[in-house]
Structure 1
Amino acid sequence: MKKTLSTAVVSIFLLGAASAAAPKDTLVIQQAATVTTLDPGLAYDTFSLQMIENIYETLWTHKGGSLTQMTPLLASKLPTYTNGGRTLVVDLRRGVKFHSGNPMTCADAEYTYRRNLVTNNADSANWFIAESLLGTQANARDDKSVTWARIAGAVKCNAAGQLVFTLPKPDPAFMAKMTFGGQGVIDRAWAIRQGEWDGTERTWKDWAGKDLSGGKLASSASGTGAYKLVKRDADNVLLTAHTAYWGGAPAIKNVIMQKIGELAARQQAFLKGDADLIEAGTRSNVDAQLRGKPGVVILDNLPTTGVQGLFMNNNVKSASALGSGKLDGKGIPANFFSDVNVRKAMAYAFDYDRFNRDVLRSKGTVRTMLLPDSFPGYSAGTRTYTYDPVKATEYFKKAWDGQVWQNGFVINANYRTGHVLGQVALELLKQNVEALNPRFRININVEPWSEQSAKFQKSEEVMIPMGWGADYADPDNFMTTFYSSKGFFYPTNNWKDAGADRWIEQAKQTTDPAQRGKLYKQVADLAYEQSPYIVLPADTGVRALRSNLKGVTSATFNPMRSFSFTGTFIRELSKK
């Protein structure tokens, strides 16, 4: 370990929660899970990205708390689209050094993004970069149209040392996608010395879709960020300030991430000042254990970038999940939810106000659509459902020509282990639906995530609660995901509308925010009429901070960096 680290810092790293209060120049973070990788080309989980975004840097990032304004990082200025929205020419910042001491050049950026396109696999977030640069979410192993010529043509350095991105068609989300922490520029020469891809056409096919979890970059790092890796073990990560950082020396000199599985232990360390930031649990946990305690500041009513809904599968492909498989009061047919009257009845049977009051402690907001209301394109003017048992009864009586009301049904609904919000949502719906007709029954079961994630992708779930957090700050990340037949959740719900598909595709290719907003409102209005999902009220964000930690406020908090607990980079923090 580096001799420059103080004895106190070393003891905190080695002893974990048993240590004394964190020194003024050291930030101690405690969370429930370990960091799975330090490779930007692989990272897709919150805990890894929290470290990676401080070790590596992207070309640009969000400005302050804004989701629409950008500020340059490794780019010297923000680029503008040319060639009809298909080309971005990026001027790179000069005088930047990697942690290895190597100077950053255009060749490093070119290597980084080509590597992401080459190795793109299901475990990484590179699918949405490949979608922009290659027109497909797949790698060369899964999509034979992906060639070296296409990859090399999509990202390359020109004679002036500028990085040039060439898209097959305009993508208004591309700038936002490039702020994702996993798009940080890596040290080409250093990576190759570690045994990573050599960046050449000769070897690229050997690395197509390759599993990077066992690579050197998963456990070591050389970025341009304000902090460099000192040590990592199974439960801890230790970073120290990069003395040659182009942005100046940060006030926090050392960063220690500790895996502390028990929430009570994290809370105790936080209250004692042994930890500066913790994974603090739900709003109820924060209110009951941390709010109002000495040395604690609570930031509340923060914007969020996630959504939650109850899914109703229009075409269930699991006979065992359907009971009798008929509308005979002992089960449901596979296409039970394909009748819009069933879906609308369910939407009117859900008590949104009670969910907000009991689950979100009256801090939630009713949303018109499965898109965060902090995002551009959100349709505030679209109508919403309210709890109305009279209307729910009316639509149930219409459903399937009266057979639903006459014969009843049995629905098997599942939630994943630990998804308390989803469990309560199903329980509220069950209570209200069963109160309408003694022939109605909803069975609620719990299943592990490993099982549920496989089943919903194969259309085998009947009704489940599910959420989505933003990968990048563009409405397409939600609109395609939920409302397009090309979206990630289409197999989960099997709801399809030609108009929605057309409007979403049109919105993907226009850079006019007003026009995109109109198109998304059309989708939202249609979704109200069709009710493919029950849109759950959304909680506002809450964060607990030690009172001596400075540099984060409600105004500067950016929800796209919410996995960092403070919504900011660590280099922007200090302790008094």
Structure 2
Amino acid sequence: MIKGLLLILFSVSFLTCSLDSNKEAKKSIFHYNQPNPITSLDPAFAKTQNNYWACEHLYNQLLDLDDSLHIVPELAKYYTISEEGKLYTFILRNDVYFTGNKCFKDSLSRVVNASDVAFSFYRLLDTKLSAPGRWIFVDKIDSINGFKALNDTVFQLRLKRPFAPLLSLLTMHYCSIIPEEAIDYYKDKFRENPVGTGPFVLTNWVDRQGMFFRKNTNYFKNGKPHLDGIRISFIEDRNTAYLEFMKKRIDYFSGIHSSFAPQLINRFGMLRDDRVGMMNFMRGTYLNTEYIGINVNAVSTNHALRNKYIRQALNLAINKELMVQTFKYGIGKAANSGFIPPGLTSFDSVRFKGYSYDPDSARALLKLAGYSNLKKDEQQLVLYTNKDFIDLITFVARQWQEVGIDVKIELLETATLREKMRAAELPIFRASWIADYPDEESFLTVFYGPNSSPPNYTRFQNQQFDLFYEDAMKETDPELRKDLYQKMNKIIIDEAPVVFLLYDEVALFSQNNIHGIIPNAINLLKLEDVKKLIIE
């Protein structure tokens, strides 16, 4: 009798588990991998891709970017800017609720208001928090009335002086809106107990194994999200993650790696013929300029790098199209139009002709500069890089040697390389610059004289450039500001404080049943519009 009862109980239990498993299997759970573990879900610390992709699922900002990087309202319905460009007034939506959480006590949730915006922004400035996003407002905000809630739906931000790219800054995840109750309740544990307004809600975080989200059923954008949830794995080895994707256990991955890239795409950056129909492949503009920086202050007065013609020759001697095909599998474009990359309005490949491959002109400039007459130690270039880019930099060095330039490569650990760049100890080094926000200022600040490093790793100084930069920060007319940005870009092309290598691109792969992913130039994974078809 007892044995029979146990058998019945086991059968019922198994049937129940099977039904739950089938129910779970029919839910549309989007699964992707992060090779670098997520360290915090506090948006004030959303500095790296692994953190800000997760924060994208949980929070909203006053303003957002559409897929073409145009600024659009999000928590704000609309905004106005005063004529002098210092006072910004935002009118907030009154139908946005924070996700339900015990920090709100009996009410469980409440409507977002202007005081939440003021709190979130002042918190970012708090020196005790030491948030990496603090730079957004430091030395920009009026010290007395920087942030002010006039009532529940009107928020004002006042600047010390006009700063034209401000609206772009406000789209960053650092500027996500959070409730003060959550910080009071969770304190430093807020990083793992996020409370936001986003399309998804965290349900479980298993340390370095995975993270799980469910859809926010009270999301203020009607009908969204379409997914039932998100799962993030933390598989450190990219090859293992790639195999999981090929087995259809992962829905999506971004970027390519030399170990598996030839199995997916050809050298022209297109999906291989035998892979067409097996997966979705998308590529698009990415606001990332790869370059070799030159700090002339780190060499002697008569060194070759001090001569502008020699720096221009370095640019002309590289076959960048071949470099992109060989080392980036065609994902990217030769940087032939200055430092501002495609995807920003000031980029103009027709108007701005930078440096295309022309070894004969490179040799002519070296002769004009008297390179061969320099002493050996004044001729030699010591090019610093890390192991991740040794193949690409070896290619560059050989191209320079072909036109008669004496160059050798020095390998440094990544942390050491960055520290020496920061300390201005390296005369010539490989680097990249990825936009924090979609405005040309994010790139041109790299060369603004008063800036230290970062971002001005080359210690570039040019009075006319600095004047154009300062005028651009005050200019509220987009076309006039665009003209100033282009004038600055022209100065960088002519003075050549860097060797322009390539404009990077995003490469995205997803399973065939995933729809709605659209590449964007800041490589942000937006999932509120994504659908996953359930395959029976």
TM-score normalised by length of structure 2: 0.85
* 1:180 paired to 2:150: no
* 1:228 paired to 2:195: no
| Residue deviations 1:295-318 (CA, integer Å, cap 9, x gap) | 7433334111111111111111xx
SS at match of 2:116: helix
Measure how far apart 1:361 and its partner are.
3.5
Structure 1 distance, partners of 2:159, 2:426, is 37
Q: 2:402 aligns with which of 435, 442, 446?
A: 435
Contact 2:32 2:251 in 1 (8 A): yes
SS at match of 2:443: helix
Question: What amino acid sits opposite 1:95 in the alignment?
Answer: D
Structure 2 distance, partners of 1:284, 1:526, is 39
Residues matched between the structures, number: 498
* 1:570 paired to 2:527: yes
Measure how far apart 1:529 and its partner are.
1.9
Gaps of 5+ in 2: 1-15, 102-107, 266-270
Give matches, 1:82-121, under 5 Å.
82-99=82-99, 100=101, 101-103=108-110, 104-119=112-127
Please say which structure displays the higher CA radius of gyration: 2
Residue in structure 2 matched with residue 377 of structure 1 by the alignment = 346
SS at match of 1:572: coil
Q: 1:361 aligns with which of 326, 329, 343?
A: 329
Structure 2 distance, partners of 1:536, 1:435, is 17
Structure 1 distance, partners of 2:145, 2:17, is 51
Residue in structure 1 matched with residue 279 of structure 2 by the alignment = 297
Contact 2:371 2:379 in 1 (8 A): no
TM-score normalised by length of structure 1: 0.80
Give matches, 1:176-575, under 5 Å.
176-195=168-187, 215-235=188-208, 236-248=210-222, 249-282=224-257, 285-289=260-264, 291=271, 292-293=274-275, 296-316=278-298, 336-367=304-335, 368-380=337-349, 381-399=351-369, 403-404=373-374, 409-418=379-388, 420=389, 423-437=390-404, 440-486=405-451, 488-489=453-454, 492-553=457-518, 557-560=519-522, 562-564=523-525, 569-575=526-532
Structure 2 distance, partners of 1:219, 1:395, is 57
Measure how far apart 1:258 and its partner are.
0.8
Structure 2 distance, partners of 1:287, 1:495, is 39
Structure 2 distance, partners of 1:363, 1:289, is 12
Structure 2 distance, partners of 1:337, 1:116, is 41
Q: 1:153 aligns with which of 145, 153, 161?
A: 145
Residue in structure 1 matched with residue 39 of structure 2 by the alignment = 36
Residue in structure 2 matched with residue 58 of structure 1 by the alignment = 61
Structure 2 distance, partners of 1:132, 1:58, is 19
Measure how far apart 1:485 and its partner are.
4.4
Contact 1:8 1:23 in 2 (8 A): no
Structure 1 distance, partners of 2:17, 2:249, is 15
Structure 1 distance, partners of 2:520, 2:81, is 25
Structure 2 distance, partners of 1:83, 1:128, is 22
| Residue deviations 1:374-393 (CA, integer Å, cap 9, x gap) | 10222431121123333222
C-alpha distance 362-270 of structure 1, shift in aligned 2 (>3 A): closer
C-alpha distance 227-459 of structure 1, shift in aligned 2 (>3 A): same
| Residue deviations 1:40-68 (CA, integer Å, cap 9, x gap) | 112200001011111111112012x222x
Structure 2 distance, partners of 1:485, 1:537, is 27
| Residue deviations 1:471-514 (CA, integer Å, cap 9, x gap) | 11111010112454426456521221111111111111101121
**Segment drifting more, 230-239 vs 179-188:** 230-239
Gaps of 5+ in 1: 1-5, 12-20, 135-149, 196-214, 317-321, 323-331
| Residue deviations 1:378-431 (CA, integer Å, cap 9, x gap) | 24311211233332223223436863388763322111232x3xx344222321
Structure 1 distance, partners of 2:25, 2:286, is 29
* Percent identity over paired residues: 18
Measure how far apart 1:39 and its partner are.
0.7
Contact 2:115 2:152 in 1 (8 A): no
Structure 2 distance, partners of 1:190, 1:376, is 40
C-alpha distance 471-28 of structure 1, shift in aligned 2 (>3 A): same
Measure how far apart 1:539 and its partner are.
3.5
Contact 1:31 1:257 in 2 (8 A): yes
Contact 1:298 1:542 in 2 (8 A): no
Structure 2 distance, partners of 1:183, 1:55, is 13
| Residue deviations 1:266-312 (CA, integer Å, cap 9, x gap) | 11211222111124534883452474448743333411111111111
SS at match of 1:231: strand
